[in-house]
Amino acid sequence: MSLPNQVRHILSVIEQSMHDLGLWQAMPPEAQAFSSTEPFCIDSMLAEEWLQWVLLPRMTALLDANAPLPTRFVIAPYFEEALKDKQPNCMPLLVLLQKLDALLNIEPE
């Protein structure tokens, strides 16, 4: 399976895991939350909000546009810390985020 297809698959599994864990939200954060300049919008969104409303749509847009995917990509450590109070419930999601990191933490050719 090609890298884009692998990434698309893991993104869909991450979404399903968020649903399963009750982390998926029906309503997005307020518009100003998206204006944050902090990494992961840490000052305006919960980690799971950023994952749902920022990362998943942006990655899907890159895939849909056949645009280059990010490299040296590492988000799992942030989520391990941000969701530590929700572990072990969130362990399946953290494993998926580690897999996404492994797919995208590559040296460009």
The pLDDT value recorded for residue 87 is 67
Check pLDDT > 70 for residue 108.
no
Q: Global pTM?
A: 0.91
Check pLDDT > 70 for residue 54.
yes
Check pLDDT > 90 for residue 18.
yes
Q: Which CATH superfamily hosts domain 3-23+40-104? A: YqcC-like (1.20.1440.40)
Q: What is the mean pLDDT of residues 53-63?
A: 97
The pLDDT value recorded for residue 107 is 61
Domain ranges of the chain: 3-23+40-104
Is the peptide bond preceding residue 28 cis, with omega within 30 degrees of 0? no
Confidence of residue 63 (pLDDT cuts 50, 70, 90): very high
Of all residues in the chain, what percent carry a pLDDT higher than 90? Answer: 87
Q: Which long-range contacts (CB under 8 A, 24 or more apart) does 22-29 make?
A: 23/48, 23/52, 23/90, 23/93, 24/52, 25/49, 25/52, 25/53, 28/53, 29/53
pLDDT tens digits for range 86-99:
767 999 999 999 99
Of all residues in the chain, what percent carry a pLDDT higher than 70? Answer: 96
The pLDDT value recorded for residue 88 is 76
Q: Which long-range contacts (CB under 8 A, 24 or more apart) does 42-45 make?
A: none
